[in-house]
Amino acid sequence: MGRQGAARPGMKATLGLFDATAISVGAIVGAGIYVVIGITAGLAGPAMVLSMVIAAAISLVTALSFAELSAWLPREGGVYAFAHELLSPFVGFSTGWMWVVSNTFTGSAVSLGFAYYFTAIVPGLNPAWLAAGLCLLFTLLNYLGVKHSANVNNFLVVSKLLILAFFIVLGVTHMHPSNFTPFVKSGSGVLYGSIYIFFAFGGFARVAVVAEEVKDPRRNVPRAIVLSLVISTVFYILVGLTAVGLISASALGNSSSPLADAARSTGATWTGYVISLGGLLATASVLLTSVLGVSRVSYAMARNRELPSALALVHKSYGTPYYSVWIAGTLMAVFVLFLSLDKVVAVSTFAQLFYYGAANAAALRLKPADARYPRAVPVAGLAACIVLLAFVLFASPQGWAIGVLSFAVGTGIFVAGRKIKSRQA
């Protein structure tokens, strides 16, 4: 980890379309379907599938904005780079900062999800310490190179989708139609549920932050963003319907490992262990891509001299921004020791809505020749993000407050950095 890494000017393009799509699928299909589905079911009841549809629709319009922005500017840092170029340096910094906040909390949340499923198989372990250890393990993997991380992620993604397909096929023959009545528990519950499940969809743009490491990024990054969202939405809806049909929404809401409990309800105890394995694989892949995402946005911000320059150093042998990687993973490990899952999700969702709103605003600034979709697409995405931000306030005032505080801290860092630069000029 020496400073010899400073000699490398940038990243290597080693990822193909499959790798790129798997990065975003890996970021989406994880804690949302294996853990947050329980929170959503408790709020929305059997109608949580409507929460999924709402979250998917909001994600789709924002994903289209990301797709055209990525085709226009395939640069490391993703939404940070878009906002910086099209809106303003302050908005760009704030967007990058909130990305870092969101995905740091996301990494903590999914590592906790991993720990819950692991302790369902091997009881007696402390989930928080297990989650922290996993954060550090995957930080090491990210440090050793993006291609290594991508290969591990590809294996995790294919494996967890196969296990989810097994869950769906298994559950179809054991579902109880009575679990779907009454279908709508409450309209507000459906909307609140969409906030939490939106957290689960949020990884669709993860590949945009590693655009410089993707081959033919103007073509492959936009394709990967849309493909990953479509694949994940199909799995989410089918798994959600199956889980409610097996053990009811209320039972899902009271479980810390909802899909495993749903599988066990079929009478075959071993199926619970298979689903728990899927939970381990799914949450592990999201954590892996969270460390990847946070480190790359930090790298991009440092390269623009908006964060300490050490974060932009690239390792000579591994081709990774090693200080950014280790700081990102260590922060995730620390957070899991002090925060509960629901607070982590609320803070992450607040920050996620902020930077997705910024992405839609940036897409509105594209010249007509660079825009691929009607202006109504980013307008709808921006409006939806604003509405959901308001719902976060009611769903989790504490999470909203932490999100606002995080934004304020970022603003302070930006102002202080500008003052330092002006004195040095």
Specify the CATH number for the domain of residue 321: 1.20.1740.10
What's at 57, amino acid-wise? A
Mean pLDDT for the stretch of residues 269-290: 82
pLDDT > 70 in the chain, percent: 94
Tens of pLDDT, residues 127-183: 888 888 888 988 888 788 777 778 888 888 899 899 999 999 999 888 889 899 888
For residue 15, give the 3-state DSSP assignment: strand
Residue 264, pLDDT > 90, answer: no
Say what the pLDDT of residue 8 is: 39
Residue 309, pLDDT > 80, answer: yes
Mean pLDDT for the stretch of residues 226-252: 91
Tens of pLDDT, residues 1-50: 333 333 334 667 788 899 989 888 888 887 667 777 888 888 888 988 89
Range of the domain at 354: 3-424
Whose CA is closest to 255, among 265, 269, 241, 268?
A: 265
pLDDT averaged over every residue in the chain: 84
Q: How many domains does the chain have?
A: 1
**Which is higher by pLDDT, 392 or 63?**
63
Max Cα–Cα distance, the chain, nearest Å: 71
Say what the pLDDT of residue 382 is: 93
Mean pLDDT for the stretch of residues 218-231: 92
State how far Cα 35 lies from the chain centre: 14
CB 79 within 8 A of CB 205: yes
CB 96 within 8 A of CB 295: no
The Cα–Cα gap between 235 and 275 comes to 14
Tens of pLDDT, residues 77-118: 888 989 999 999 999 999 999 888 888 877 887 788 788 778
Half-sphere exposure of 29 toward its Cβ, with a 13 Å CA cutoff? 34
Say what the pLDDT of residue 31 is: 62
Say what the pLDDT of residue 3 is: 36
